[in-house]
Amino acid sequence: MWYIALGTVLVIWLVIAGAVNLATAYRYTKASLAGLAGVFVCSAALSQWLARLSLPASSGLARVVVGVVITIPVFILGGTLLVEVWRRFQGGKPDIRQRDTWRDRETECLGTLAEVERELEQLSARQREIEQENRENLDRQWRLRAAVENWEQGGGVARIRATKVQQWKEELAVLSEEGLAAREKALAAEIAVASDPVRREQLEIQKSLSELERLTRVLAQPNRSLDELKHRQASAIARKESLRQELVRIRQEAQEGRRRPGSGRR
């Protein structure tokens, strides 16, 4: 008798699974609910007829109970067949205006996503340029400092040269950016006409110190351009992710909507 018990358990499980699927796996419209109501009425009538046919000598209550028991699986089977046939029949006929709306939204989202990606490429290129400029400034600063230190320590007069370097640094420290640029221009003009090698060397060191002072100020300040660039990149990346999620939602909505005119899967 074990196979009878196993069969009973299997039937009960199939009935429960079918009921859960019918109740949760679809979205229903008024028309599809009316169709299910018709299936239920037909299932109940068929089940009562089968109960009277199979139990002619039983009481009316017994036939009603048996009919109700038969009605449930018959309704679940019939209802599932109805909604699947309905869904497949209606799924090939999506509303044209709704379909165009989905297509327009998808096209607009793709266009905006392409613009954001181009913006990110431009921002990345600009970031590489700024970082390259910073590296060049650091390299230039290091070379200028090395040239000044080599001159300061050479020639056997390191103490005198160190004093001169300190004096020139103090003079340059009080100048503005415009003052430093003007000083470098004047020094370059003097270097061009200087005939004394010692004097030319001193002028070149002063010019190096002026440029070194200017580079030191630039590198000591927060790089606002790079900070702003990184902020814009973070904002663009967030917009890109948001657009990708929106694109996924649009496509899912379109896919579900194409198979949901009457009743469709959730």
Pair 116, 83 in one domain:
no
Whether residue 46 is found in the same domain as residue 113: no
Residue 115 lies in a domain: yes
Q: Do 245 and 121 share a domain, yes or no?
A: yes
pLDDT in tens, 17-38: 666 766 666 666 677 677 777 7
* Domain co-membership, 111 together with 234: yes
| 258 within some domain | no
**Model confidence over 228-244: pLDDT tens digits?**
888 888 888 888 888 88
CA distance 43 to 145: 96
Count of domains in the chain? 2
Give me the pLDDT at residue 197, please.
Answer: 85
Query: Does residue 191 fall inside a structural domain?
Result: yes
Please check whether residue 264 lies inside any domain of the structure: no
Task: Identify the domain containing residue 203 by its residue range.
Answer: 104-253
The domain boundary, picked from 60, 91, 122, lies at: 91
> Cβ neighbours of residue 1 under 8 Å, at least 6 residues apart?
none
Q: With DSSP H G I counted as helix, E B as strand and the rest as coil, what are the percentages for the chain, rounded to 5?
A: 85, 0, 10
Query: Cα–Cα distance between 18 and 12 in angstroms, integer?
Result: 10
Do residues 172 and 113 both lie within one domain? Answer: yes
Q: Is residue 97 part of a domain?
A: no
> pLDDT, tens digit, for every residue of 173-193?
888 888 888 888 888 888 888
Domain limit, last residue, from 91, 117, 133: 91
Domain-embedded: residue 259: no
Q: Examine the domain organization and report whether 167 and 237 are in the same domain.
A: yes
Give the model's pLDDT for residue 235. 86
